[in-house]
Structure 1
Amino acid sequence: MSQQAITPELCDWIAEQSRAGHPSQNILAAMLGSGWDEAIARQALARTLGQSATLTAPAGATPGLPEPDLSRFAPVLDAGDRPVKVVMALRQPRVVVFADLLSGEECDGIIALATQRLSRSETVATGGDGSEVNAARTSDGMFFERGETALIQRVEGRIAALLRWPLDHGEGLQVLRYSPGAEYQPHYDYFDPAHASTANILRRGGQRVGTLVIYLNTPAAGGSTIFPDIGLDVAPVKGNAVFFSYDRPHPATQTLHGGSPVVEGEKWVATKWLRQGVFN
């Protein structure tokens, strides 16, 4: 499998299948049935079709994945009430870095709202339902209800417009504060299908399909968002954000990511997770 290569002939075949009306998930299944390594097959699909093969969505879910309009690769995108700059875009995995998603005043406002409600961050419980404190996540955090304040509502509307994903398909914003030495070790954001609590979690909107991490300040040193599988580090710059999507709950999406330790100062981030269906 390690010797498999994405050749022009393979890309031509994928393009022919797509023109014939075969959905990307069927093309992927055919490649896997022929012995292709899944990661290479997905890279070939992304290179040829410009997006990753989408997962099969449950009834009532929005098809496809959240995705900014990069069809013309314009350096500035219209996010409804604010122009947002595109700094970098990677096709496979889909990772996009934005600049000036939030103003400095909006970042400061979210921090001020969140400060009084912080508690030790938790993750999905290891052995069952619920959540628990995890040594891999050494931050303090809180959640806003969707549309809780005028500021939160404005930011959520901007995110929905930028990523072209329904507003009600998003979880409430989570704000995290990382003190010096704090980190979040590499992990995936999708819900593990094998986990005991996943079935209950999925009843509230289906799987997660995308993540947007917004930097609310610029730490003096450290605190980058890291993607170990692809060797990418994204610097935390106030008002900027990194977006990534994942079409299935599987490591083949190459969306393993984490927050590297803060070396000096604090790091504040706001995270928006996007679901397949209406989150309630």
Structure 2
Amino acid sequence: MQILVPILILLPLGVKSWHIHSFSTNHILRSSTHTTLNKNQRDFKPIQLSQSDVFEPSYSSEVYFWSKERTEDEIIKYCARSLFPHEEFSVARKRIEVISPELPLLVIHDFLPKDMCEEIIKKAEQNGNLKRSTLGNSQEESTERTSSTTWLRKEQCEIPLEILSNKISRLAGIPSQNCENFQVVRYNGNGEKFDLHTDHLDSFNDLDVRGRLATCMLYLNSARSGSECGGFEGGCTQFPEYDVEVQPKRGSVAFWFNTVERPAFNDSSEGRGFSDESFLNVDLRSRHAGTPVVGNEKWVCNRWMHPVPFMVN
């Protein structure tokens, strides 16, 4: 599948104030990651955990938070309350970076402990099913996306993925049954990359799961910085619309919406939910790219959210 869009050329605008840098790009948006995915993704069995550090999703708010535009201050307060309820606000807010209130596009640090990130990598390697990543509905290999992918269910890495799942649901306001399994991606240090793309395409509305509302990408290891040993070089996540690139940092997540529409999952007057007549239009501001990785491997874990239940419980 191909989408024709103009070549995007950006001029450098200077370095942003956070660990996110400006850049220039002339990539062409041509394809998307695959939504229909592997058929066995629907083979899902929920698990019960009693650990006190597991976040239980809560959707008690009268109005779905993301169903309307929010200010940066509102977003920071919402994320601090939802994700770091046991910390003082002055501490929690330092973990939250709002690149843009609209898309929205956020980077949240210390989202998952480092040891749990390492456990996810270990389980992905033990899974023994890392395969060349593919593009679009055709699941074809491409030089635009040169990485390896495997899928993990929550029971394959119980505590880390249960905590991650519930925190993502708290952040997005989308129930976990509307989410895909966890996609773990490895980029080898020989220049593997992912060219400019969106995670949702308008054509995905024809699928049963209707498309990807939002993306949460967890960085499982860190890029090298300064004289720091280990890590990898490159591997940034570029967002050309905002002229920034996010530096991978273990335990941090990047979160954004992929569609113009954001159906609310409640019966409030501001959001009646998703219906069969609803159409999700791709928001081109969400296009992003993974720059070539040099040196050691880069690992990320993706979680995609849909407007309808995705997994069979």
TM (norm. structure 2) is 0.60
Measure, in 2, the Cα distance between the counterparts of 1:82 and 1:142: 34
Q: 1:72 to 1:270 in 2, by over 3 A?
A: closer
After TM superposition, give the deviation of residue 207 of structure 1 in Å.
1.8
CA–CA distance in structure 2, aligned partners of residues 262 and 153 of structure 1: 29
Does the CA-based 8 Å contact 1:65-1:247 persist in structure 2? no
SS class of match (1:208): coil
Q: For residues 161 and 252 of structure 1, do their structure 2 counterparts lie closer, same or farther at Cα, with a shift above 3 Å needed?
A: closer
What corresponds to 1:138 in structure 2? 146
1:206 and 2:210 correspond: yes
Q: Secondary structure at the match of 1:212?
A: strand
Q: CA shift at 1:216, angstroms?
A: 0.2
Residue 79 of structure 1 contacts residue 161 of structure 1 at CA under 8 Å; is this kept in 2?
yes
Relative to structure 1, is the Cα distance of residues 274 and 251 closer, same or farther in structure 2, using a 3 angstrom cutoff? Answer: closer
What do you get for the CA RMSD once the two structures are aligned?
A: 2.8
Residues 111-170 of structure 1 show CA distances to partners (whole Å, capped at 9, x for unaligned) of: 0000133111112245xxxx2212211001101135544132222112112222111111
- Contact (CA 8 Å) 1:66, 1:164: kept in 2 or not? no
Q: Residue 105 of structure 1 corresponds to which residue in structure 2? A: 115
Per the alignment, residue 273 of structure 1 pairs with 304
Any gaps of 5 or more consecutive residues in structure 1?
1-62
Q: What are the within-5 Å matches in structure 2 for residues 57-96 of structure 1?
A: 71=74, 73-74=76-77, 76-79=80-83, 85-96=95-106
Aligned pair in 2 of structure 1 residues 277, 182: CA closer, same or farther (>3 Å)?
same
Task: Provide Cα deviations, 1:200-235, integer angstroms capped at 9, x if missing partner.
Answer: xx21x3221100111000133110000122212111
Q: Tell me the secondary structure at the aligned position of residue 268 of structure 1.
A: strand
1:218–1:236 Cα contact (<8 Å) kept = yes
Aligned to 2:17: none
- 2 CA distance for matches of 1:208 and 1:251? 9
May I ask how many residue pairs the two structures share in their alignment?
209
Q: Work out which structure has the larger RCO, using CA pairs closer than 8 Å and 6 or more positions apart in sequence.
A: 2
In the alignment, the residues of structure 2 paired with residue 98 and residue 174 of structure 1 have an alpha-carbon distance, to the nearest angstrom, of 19
Counterparts of 1:72 and 1:87 in 2: how far apart (Å)?
10
Task: Give ranges in structure 2 of 5+ residues lacking alignment.
Answer: 1-63, 225-232, 261-279
Q: Deviations over 1:244-275 (max 9, x none)?
A: 10334556541110101112321100001111
1:154-169 aligned within 5 A: 154-169=163-178
Deviations along 1:4-48, one digit per CA (max 9) or x if unpaired, are xxxxxxxxxxxxxxxxxxxxxxxxxxxxxxxxxxxxxxxxxxxxx
CA deviation digits over 1:41-90, x for unaligned, max 9?
Answer: xxxxxxxxxxxxxxxxxxxxxx8858999626338343278866212341
Equivalent residues of 2:259, 2:282 under 8 A apart: no
CA contact (8 A) 1:219 1:266 kept: no
For residues 71 and 231 of structure 1, what CA distance do their matches in structure 2 show?
A: 23
Aligned to 1:159, what secondary structure does the other structure show?
helix
